[in-house]
Structure 1
Amino acid sequence: MKVKALLALSGAAASAAALLAGVAESQSRTRSISQSSASQAAQQHPQIVAEFGGEDSSARSAYVRTVGSRVTAQSNITGGANAFRITTLNSPVMNAFAVPGGYLYITRQLVGLMNDEAELASVLGHEAGHIAARHSKQRQRASILSQILSVGAAVLTGSNELGQLAGQVSQGLVLSYSRSQELEADDLGVRYIAAAGYDPLASAQFLGSLGAATSLEARASGRNDERSTPSWARTHPLSSERVSRATQKARATGRSGGLRNRDQFLAQIDGIMVDDDPRQGVIDGSTFRHPDLRLRFTVPDGYGMQNGVNALSIVGQGGQAQFTGGSFNGSMPNYIAAAFQSVVGEQARVDFTQPRTTSVGGIPAAYSTARVATQSGQVDLTIFAYQWDANSAYHFALITPAGAGLGPFMSMVQSVARLSASEAAAIRPRVIDVVTVGAGDTVQSLANRMAYDDLKLDRFRVLNGLAANARLTPGQKVKLVVFGTR
């Protein structure tokens, strides 16, 4: 997938003045979050959390909420911090987003990139700024989930039910804000964190770090992975001009040099998981492996994967798919019928072909295809199921253009295989380890300890916000990514 071009920021003095006037108005006018928006956000919250790998329920999550409360208390929203709900998501995608009902979300992956509490405050302040300025309502008046969870799959299917299936893959693919909305949220965020006592320069510094992470991930993946650009960078476009502008706004507050709370922050994130959670399976390029389920498969070239609590989703130009499973009652036709019904909904009728039995790598399997009429035409919906053992089965639900059948997914459904005990045991989580620089440590020697096969030095520098010529001093704390235990 092509990476969206980064937004270049420029503008005449007149437009800048108009923007500043808008920010001043957004900041001074007291606004309340409507009961309907809050109610809708509460209803959609469980599904959003599930799509993003579940909620981080550790003490770290409480710490993030405390920082967020300190920042959101400075907003012009009636109720201050009490009007917001802040959730840390167990997601390997670098992302943060807000929904109109006052719900703020941030992923553990994005938190892991940060280097102090002020940087955390800056992201939460920026997202609170989007809510205070009502950007989501200006951008799109559809449901919260259509903003957060919907992708181009609906264009293919034209069906709410089928669109939800393919929409699972949309973690982080929130519609982009406009240039003026991003700048307004930047300005409001700087105001909020400065008023909360934090160093407002943290905003620009973290934007710089995220820009470096964006470039690094694109290099590491060759731009072929759906996650090659951190989602926060896709939905909040970055540029050097934007970083410079945020620096200027911070200095204009006259409060540079405020709180950074670096040691406290590093103590909180010591041990935080980064990248995939093995309990939900790991994505390595085009291969998905799940150590607990003891299975693996490979998606076609050009297709991206995103993981949720209950399912893995795959999307590409030729179709969409979801991999999930359930209990097996001894009848493959009954299992396939139930899988079809779960996709189209209990009230809908679907006519599918008699399941054909086969074997994939010695695993009993069966599949069936149904032609489904949607608002934008007909599509093929295929269920390809595997009897894993006496009590469980797994399946792909595949959506392709009418007549394509398995189409581009033929190689994927044939690639499913069992992991050996040793292969499963070798899959371990990556975690952040905060270490103190010793007398003989260098950037290179510490980078060599990073739990990656490539770009160790670059990854270490980006993770710690270090310039290319930066040197370390004994006693300094830095972050490493190491293998943890399961």
Structure 2
Amino acid sequence: MIAAAASSALLPVALAAQSARYLNPREVAEAQQQHAALVEEFGGAETGQRAAYVQSVGQRVAAYSGVANPGQSFRFTTLNSAVENAFAVPGGYIYITRQLMTLMNDESELAFALGHEAGHVAANHAQQRERVQRRNSIYGVFGAILGSVFGSSAVGNLLSQQAQLRTLSFSRQQEYDADRLATQYLARSGYDPAGGPGILAALARSGALEARVQGRETRSTPEWASTHPLSENRARQAQVMAQQTGRLGTGIRNRDHFLAQLDGTYVDDDPAQGVIEDVYFRHPGLRLQFAIPVGFQMQNGTRSVSISGSGGQAEFGGGGYQGPLESYAARVLQELGGGQRIAIAQPERTTINGMPAAVTATRAQAGSSWVDVSVVAYQWDRDTVYHFVMITRAGQGIGPFRSMVNSLRRLTPAEAAAIRPRVVDVVTVRAGDTVQSLASRMAYRSFRLERFLSLNGLAANSALSPGQKVKLVVYGTRRS
């Protein structure tokens, strides 16, 4: 238990255990080797002023972690990802997504999130539990499913080029320990420890809102992104810990400076990677679109899009290819089979929306049942082929996904140009503004008021004051 005002209570656990903890050189080397591929898999790293700002805040709190040479031991990266997440890998590399930052309302909340991850590193949580292998690419998650279907570990060899990078899932107690450490880091580095309950409450609000819109939205959160348990109970515990420092309500918040850094940040998908809206996936750069069936969800990845629902699982991908279309379709199944001998149906030629297409399938055993694994490949142009891979119950073939398979089409130049990103717009409240009037400007078709309130931590009856700054999500301009 943390004593209320004792200075020793503010001493990080890692620092109390020893004067300074040096990171494992092997883990540092692994983190360095994995960094570039991990960044690519999560949409790339942000650069410039905002990235430098995140690095500076992270270094400020990590200085109190008890890790030796924190300025050199920790590296903080802002990821261009639409998933609300922050995580650390052994070796001192810490990552935070721009999407998570959009939930925050001041610098102390950012400091807590980064301090929490630094706490995992400082407390050596990775060595206190069994490591869990996770495939972070969408292709990797789908490939793991196919690997179990085909009973082939060789699928993993195929997917190694898709950045099968390791993150760690920590126990609930380790998460609370990291929260406690982050609270201590905030107090010692001069931040208001209110940042902890602030961001955890924001995450709880976001999760509750997502539960409300589920079924009306088609975006899913991948299993590998759920590295942190989110709950109101965790936020309440963080509030107690913040009070026990004796410094709650004092210290740095830097709200205006934080919001200035956040202004213009992409929200949800980056159009350069394609966007999900309603049942549609659209990619302005590739000028393509498809629609998923009702009741299914999508998750956008750097190289592919995964689709899942009670009727089956699918993935959309592809790229440069020259050769017979039938050979491409068969090769997709053979590669996913990990080199095993698979009985593949002779690919059949057809035409879909004016495009030459090839269809093939195989049947495989998944546990005690059988499934159909189907491929539909499209000749997009002379040098490009796209495809869907689908897993359904035996006998269904592509049935549950037939509408999706038939929906792939080219976007017109005007349609592609009309796809714009959502961005954070920090506005100053004027006389007469209400939560309802400001919420009406949100760039969503549904739940505008609820999204606005959740984003800003407001209630429906909150009174706004002229001069107050709030966040909106509006349509912006694509980066060149």
> What TM-score does the superposition give when structure 2 sets the normalisation length?
0.85
Q: SS in structure 1 opposite 2:102?
A: helix
Match of 2:461 among 469, 472, 477: 469
Give the share of equivalent positions with the same residue, in percent.
Answer: 51
Match of 2:411 among 419, 426, 433: 419
> Comparing 444-453 with 361-370, which one deviates more in the overlay?
361-370
Pairing 1:28–2:16 present:
yes
Report deviation, 1:316.
Answer: 4.3
Q: Which residue does 1:141 correspond to in 2? A: 131
Q: Which residue does 1:267 correspond to in 2? A: 260
Q: SS in structure 1 opposite 2:91?
A: coil
Measured on the aligned residues, the alpha-carbon RMSD in Å equals 3.6
Pairing 1:184–2:174 present:
no
Deviations 1:105-154 (A, max 9, x none): 11111111111111111111111112222333434324465899658725
Match of 2:384 among 382, 392, 416: 392
Q: Which residue does 2:116 correspond to in 1? A: 126
> Comparing 169-178 with 450-459, which one deviates more in the overlay?
169-178
Q: Which residue does 2:287 correspond to in 1? A: 294
| Aligned pairs, number | 465
Q: Indicate conservation of the 8 Å contact 1:295/1:419, yes or no.
A: yes
Q: Which residue does 1:70 correspond to in 2? A: 60
Q: Indicate conservation of the 8 Å contact 1:94/1:231, yes or no.
A: no
> Comparing 410-419 with 443-452, which one deviates more in the overlay?
410-419
In structure 1, distance between residues paired with 2:141 and 2:378? 28
Q: Which residue does 1:331 correspond to in 2? A: 324
Q: SS in structure 1 opposite 2:381?
A: coil
Q: Indicate conservation of the 8 Å contact 2:429/2:469, yes or no.
A: yes
Structure 1 unaligned runs (5+)? 1-12, 14-19
Q: Which residue does 2:95 correspond to in 1? A: 105
AA matched with 1:322:
E
Pairing 1:41–2:31 present:
yes
In structure 2, distance between residues paired with 1:278 and 1:456? 21
Deviations 1:289-342 (A, max 9, x none): 212222222234444322222222234465543322222435313433554566
Q: Against the structure 1 CA distance between its residues 322 and 307, is the aligned structure 2 distance closer, same or farther, given a 3 Å change threshold?
A: same
Q: Which residue does 1:311 correspond to in 2? A: 304
In structure 1, distance between residues paired with 2:165 and 2:277? 19
Q: Against the structure 1 CA distance between its residues 146 and 298, is the aligned structure 2 distance closer, same or farther, given a 3 Å change threshold?
A: closer
Pairing 1:368–2:356 present:
no
Deviations 1:55-87 (A, max 9, x none): 223431221111111111211222223212222
Q: Indicate conservation of the 8 Å contact 2:109/2:195, yes or no.
A: yes
Aligned 1:81-92 pairs, distance under 5 A = 81-92=71-82
In structure 1, distance between residues paired with 2:69 and 2:80? 28
Q: Against the structure 1 CA distance between its residues 46 and 338, is the aligned structure 2 distance closer, same or farther, given a 3 Å change threshold?
A: farther
Q: SS in structure 1 opposite 2:207?
A: helix
Q: Which residue does 1:247 correspond to in 2? A: 239
Q: Indicate conservation of the 8 Å contact 1:356/1:366, yes or no.
A: yes
Q: Indicate conservation of the 8 Å contact 2:193/2:242, yes or no.
A: yes
In structure 2, distance between residues paired with 1:167 and 1:400? 25
Q: SS in structure 1 opposite 2:432?
A: coil
Q: Which residue does 2:5 correspond to in 1? A: none
Q: Indicate conservation of the 8 Å contact 1:95/1:172, yes or no.
A: no
In structure 2, distance between residues paired with 1:321 and 1:421? 28
Aligned 1:338-349 pairs, distance under 5 A = 339-340=332-333, 343=336
AA matched with 1:398:
M
> Comparing 448-457 with 335-344, which one deviates more in the overlay?
335-344
Deviations 1:182-228 (A, max 9, x none): 21111011111222211111110111111111111221233874537
AA matched with 1:237:
P
Report deviation, 1:171.
Answer: 12
> Comparing 63-72 with 406-415, which one deviates more in the overlay?
406-415
Structure 2 unaligned runs (5+)? 2-7
> What TM-score does the superposition give when structure 1 sets the normalisation length?
0.84
Q: SS in structure 2 opposite 1:235?
A: coil
AA matched with 2:120:
H
Q: SS in structure 2 opposite 1:186?
A: helix
Q: Against the structure 1 CA distance between its residues 132 and 226, is the aligned structure 2 distance closer, same or farther, given a 3 Å change threshold?
A: farther
Q: Which residue does 2:375 correspond to in 1? A: 383
In structure 2, distance between residues paired with 1:132 and 1:338? 46
